[in-house]
Amino acid sequence: MIFIDVDFYFITDSQSSKKGIFSDVNDALKAGCKIIQYREKNIDFNRMVYEAKHLKKKCNGKAIFLINDRLDVALAVEADGIHIGKSDVSFKDARKSLGNNKIIGLSVDNVKEAIDAEFAGANYIGLGPIFKTFTKKDAGNPCGIKMLKNVRKNIKIPIVAIGGITKKNVAEVIRNGADAVASVSAVIGSDDVYREVNDFINIIRECKKL
């Protein structure tokens, strides 16, 4: 199994971006981000493929490049893998199409789903929302730090925590079992994506040393 080793998990968001997703990804890579997820909901397939191809080139040799939800786009651009939500393509279908040499992450919000994801063969899970978030309208209620700790006790694959995570609370999230975090609005909505990503990475790495 491919095992991801990252600290800050960057997710694109064209709706919140101030300088555009290409600029955002450039800044994230310069800051040392090792994983980029392309997430887009409101454009057609051809446009998604166009953007994803350009982002993949930027990530080549620098970071893992994943596609959110869209298996067809991931296959078209030969991405490094896919992240799947609960209402998306099934894990079984994604693995069958992508093969064993691609990364598949699954969104979960409780211990049972996390255990099931590991058993199925997911490379990592996205757990959240940890705290209240306004980035995704359908994010649901926060699962909290207690759930994060319980999930960590029950699985060995990496946990990417997401939802309401800021520089003020990221240390608590890492100390309680997350291997990496994703923070969309706190990063994309800032005036300096490079600085924000760099700050997150530094905090996370310091926490992991303790």
Specify whether the CB–CB gap between 143 and 130 falls below 8 A: yes
Catalytic center residues: 39, 107, 136
Specify whether the CB–CB gap between 170 and 183 falls below 8 A: yes
Closest Cα to residue 160, out of 209, 87, 115, 109? 109
Torsion from C-alpha of 58, 60, 64, 65, nearest 10 degrees = 50
What DSSP state is assigned to residue 67?
E
**Burial (CB count within 10 angstroms: exposed 0-12, middle 13-18, buried 19+), residue 57:** exposed
